[in-house]
Amino acid sequence: MQNTSEQRLLVLGIETSCDETAAAVVVRDGEAEGRILSNVVRSQLAEHSPYGGVVPEIAARAHVECLDTLVAAALAEAGVTLADLSGIAATAGPGLNGGLVVGLVTGKTLALAAGKPFLAINHLEAHALTVGLTDGLAPPYLVLLVSGGHTQTLLVEDVGRYRRIGTTVDDAIGEAFDKTAKLLGLGYPGGPEVERAARAGDARRFPLPRPMVGRAEPHFSLAGLKTALRQRAEAAAPLSDQDIADLSAAFEAAVCDIIVDRVGRAMDLSAGSLGEGARVLTIAGGVAANKSIARALAGLADARGFHLAVPPAALCTDNGAMIAWAGAERLARGLTDELDVAAKPRWPLDPGAPAAIGAGVKA
């Protein structure tokens, strides 16, 4: 396929890898100028919150029920038809298989019916490229991806060229927030609840460990922190509101310290690839909404001479615009996919990355 990098590209993006059904239309004008024409998201929070986590079967069914309406809404809001599109992009992985199949089959069907190129998008790549859409930033840059399912530092060398620096050897950070909230009797999703409770808390009352901090390898570990928190909570039970606030504050402070240390290590390890000019750190994933973490990262970026680019919260959490944008970036480079591409529940961005020590390493 010819290189279309100078053309105006109009791409529909579909996202169904977890508990958000999303569709969006994005335009890419010439060299990496991006604009969102529509960005429709339907969260399945209400369906999953009674279970305190995402239930795969419920997620897949909920995607089926609303995806066609969302795609129609995204096209209508953008004021375009299928015929106007340059390409159709859908998340192919990583994520929950049932949901991925729903989005992928929908995207392929639309591409076939409209005779448009199809783009099978890696969800992690879409998070990593968002800063190009929101801030017009081009690689190389460093990304901290922190969500309910992922915790990793990534070096984006170019579109399609990623080097994973660090990952978690056990829980994802968002997952740790969710488990902490459950333990403390707070609601789901746990991140915003823990953050709210922490505001009234004293982080010094309950000392908690900072696993991996200071270690040479750049990985994350949350399991020991979670266990220590549970022990402190059990010892203090029954918990008063102040106990919950203090435990939340202690947990959040420990996570901030872990993130600052681990991202600092990723900065050391990617220094050679980032060059001497303006170095950029960006953040993606739902945990990016946490104000204390954002403040801690701003301090780190300042100290290390990095520019911290934080996309708006709606573009840090799962959305269709990031899928459409990643699709446009790939389409501009002729990186289209065949219609027989399969869903990939596990799809590391950097298959060559050495496995982190420990069990249960996340993609």
The length of the chain is 363
Nearer to ligand KG4, 106 or 147 (CB): 147
Nearer to Zn ion, 86 or 317 (CB): 317
- Residue 104: name its binding partner from ligand KG4, Zn ion, none (Cβ under 5 to 8 Å by kind): none
How many angstroms separate the CA atoms of 100 and 18, rounded? 8
**Shortest CB 346 distance to ligand KG4, Å:** 15
**Shortest CB 147 distance to ligand KG4, Å:** 3
Chain positions contacting Zn ion, by CB under 5 A = 147, 318
How many angstroms separate the CA atoms of 339 and 62, rounded? 24
How many angstroms separate the CA atoms of 284 and 174, rounded? 12
- Residue 192: name its binding partner from Zn ion, ligand KG4, none (Cβ under 5 to 8 Å by kind): ligand KG4
CB 297 within 8 A of CB 260: yes
**Shortest CB 173 distance to ligand KG4, Å:** 7
| Cα 10 off chain centre by | 23
Nearer to ligand KG4, 18 or 324 (CB): 18
Which residue minimizes CB distance to Zn ion?
Answer: 318
- Residue 132: name its binding partner from Zn ion, ligand KG4, none (Cβ under 5 to 8 Å by kind): none
Nearer to Zn ion, 20 or 261 (CB): 20
- Residue 191: name its binding partner from ligand KG4, Zn ion, none (Cβ under 5 to 8 Å by kind): ligand KG4
CB 229 within 8 A of CB 185: no
Q: How many CB atoms lie within 10 A of CB 203?
A: 20
- Residue 140: name its binding partner from Zn ion, ligand KG4, none (Cβ under 5 to 8 Å by kind): none
How many angstroms separate the CA atoms of 328 and 224, rounded? 41
Q: How many CB atoms lie within 10 A of CB 31?
A: 10
Chain positions contacting ligand KG4, by CB under 6 A = 18, 147-149, 174-175, 177-178, 189-192, 195, 285-287, 289-290, 317-318
> E strand or H helix at 156, and its extent?
strand 151-158
Nearer to ligand KG4, 189 or 211 (CB): 189
**Shortest CB 255 distance to ligand KG4, Å:** 8
**Shortest CB 215 distance to Zn ion, Å:** 26
**Shortest CB 155 distance to ligand KG4, Å:** 20
Query: Measuring CA to CA, how many Å separate 130 from each of 136, 262, 275?
Result: 9, 22, 21
Nearer to ligand KG4, 13 or 286 (CB): 286
- Residue 317: name its binding partner from Zn ion, ligand KG4, none (Cβ under 5 to 8 Å by kind): ligand KG4
Identify each DSSP E strand in 130-226 by its residue range. Answer: 141-146, 151-158, 161-167
Give the type of residue at 77: E
Which residue minimizes CB distance to ligand KG4?
Answer: 191
- Residue 21: name its binding partner from Zn ion, ligand KG4, none (Cβ under 5 to 8 Å by kind): none
Q: In sequence order, what are the residues at sequence separation of 6 or more whose Cβ sits closer than 8 angstroms to the Cβ of residue 235?
A: none
Nearer to ligand KG4, 32 or 287 (CB): 287
CB 125 within 8 A of CB 161: no
> E strand or H helix at 99, and its extent?
helix 97-114
Nearer to ligand KG4, 229 or 331 (CB): 229
DSSP code at position 318: S
